Homo-oligomer: A and B are copies of this chain.
Amino acid sequence: MEMNAVVLHGPRDIRVERKPRPTILKADDAIVRVRYAGICGSELHPYRGHQKTTYGHIMGHEFTGIVDQVGSNVATVKPGDLVVGLFSSACLNCWFCKYGYTNRCANSLALGTAQIDGGQAEYVRVPHADGTLVIAPPNINDELLIMMSDIFPTGYYGAMRAISYFGTEPNKLSSTNGALQMVRQPLKSTVFVCLGCGIVGLCAVMTAVVKGAGTVFCVDTIPDRLEQAQKMGGTPLRLGVDDIHAIVLKATEGRGADAVIESVGNQAALKMAMELLRPCGLLSSVGFHQTEMPFTALQGYQKNISLNMGRAPVKAVFEEALELFTLHQAMFTNFISHRLRLAEAAKGYEMFESQEARKVLLQVSD
């Protein structure tokens, strides 16, 4: 049996074509009949040809749908369940999964890459189904559910690394000789910068604001994104217009930002993040980087930097992220700016790349 699927054949060459319908290959596989599939910002890297890749596989790592079949070892989902798929599979059995590092699952397969066909198709084979599919909670908008594949947990994770760096309670630090009572900086006094207000960045903004960061500066070039960030409680700063360094320094008596959450994924952004950060601050980078480090080891030493990089452990943070997302999903109502049919995928990629669209949802089945 065949189905329609979105295939990348080369830079900017997206085609919707007939492909064999996937079948169960392993006992922990599931087949999902896709309902919605998202186009993710990270897919623009291979789309533009910036990222070394092979061509010819089915794209997509954000999807929701109805479970169609399950392998004999699948325990947590069954045919008929409405599920959301996580962007990278988690086997739940390896050392990394056991300790919550599901972002580095030793057996993980990245959906929508040469490793395994993705979800921009009528059906998708999902490996490690118990670790990769989650049954849709009853109280989530069925379109917004797709944000739980990657976008929201990634932004949430980027922000929470910064939030937990400060903690939510001011703690007494050690003091000596009674000369000083040192305390931990209260979260409500902190100044965060979210560099990049694409949809992941906006999820980070929302998380930082709701979790109690004092000021959340939001940096982007696109007015529409900055408006969204402002609605969420962020303070918008327009790159190329506002003097961002001066504003952040002024807001911090010259120190720099307490934390910078970077979700852009290019060298200029990582460099700017470092420059905006105060000494002993936290740089939380969830952007995908392919270049050299844009600062020296001397600069890192002199700034006493704390740096976290890399993708989110979506499975490990799913429950806590979902709780926050469910409470505040109303903030995201307008995020899906364009709904297209699967057959219109090429147009969807074009609109998303040209930043006409905030988020493109492919409606695959009803």
Contacts and interface: CB of A to CB of B under 8 A. Distances in A.
Given A75-B179, A92-B180, A176-B134, A311 B301 contact: yes
Among A304, A316, A320, find the residue whose CB has the most chain B CB atoms closer than 10 A. Answer: A304
Nearest to A171: B100
B304 A293 contact: no
Contact of A289 (B175, B301, B306): B301
Interface stretch (A63-71, A181-189, A210-218): A181-189
A103 B291 contact: no
Question: How many chain copies does the complex carry?
Answer: 2
19 contacts: A75-B179, A76-B178, A92-B179, A95-B253, A98-B183, A99-B183, A99-B184, A101-B280, A104-B279, A130-B180, A173-B316, A174-B318, A270-B297, A280-B310, A289-B297, A290-B297, A292-B297, A301-B311, A303-B310
Interface string A79-106: 0000000000000100111111111100
Given A298-B290, A298-B291, A300-B309, A131 B185 contact: no
Interface in A273-323: 279-280, 285, 288-298, 300-311, 315-320
Interface in A88-144: 92, 95-104, 130-131, 134-135
Given A95-B253, A104-B280, A305 B304 contact: no
